Amino acid sequence: MTYKERTQDIYDQMMQGKLLDAFDQYYGENVVMTDSNGTREGKAASREFEVQFVGMIQEVHGMEVKSIVSDEENGIVFHQSIMDVTFKDGNRVQMEQVGVQQWEGDFIINEKFYN
């Protein structure tokens, strides 16, 4: 499976409500994840952030993957997506982001999101 296919599989699982399953499958133990909320180091801290994020969502109205582009030789994947969600506080938000993943073997070791 290519890195591009693995990233698509992550999104496919997310669309089925299996974000945490995809996280467990594809993220490395020493992953570093960065977004507008800061940087988390290690799988446990990064997973806890994802658990908290999922816990804030009341309803997912839709998700679209706009593009996935990969540099297979160097293990780099760029992905662009839009997610339309309502949070438990009642705010409905359409989040558009671009992410850059660095893969090493079967796992993501670094991922940065840009909003």
**DSSP bridge pairs for 101:** 77, 111
Query: Taking all residues of the chain, what is their mean pLDDT, rounded to a whole number?
Result: 97
Whole-number pLDDT of residue 30: 98
For the full predicted model, state whether its pTM sits above 0.75: yes
In the chain, DSSP assigns E strands to 27-35, 38-41, 57-71, 76-87, 92-104, 107-114
Domain 3-114 is of which CATH architecture? Answer: Roll (3.10)
Can you give the pLDDT at residue 34?
A: 97
Mean pLDDT over residues 25-51, rounded? 97
Asked if residue 101 lies in contact with residue 31, where contact means CB atoms within 8 angstroms, the answer is no
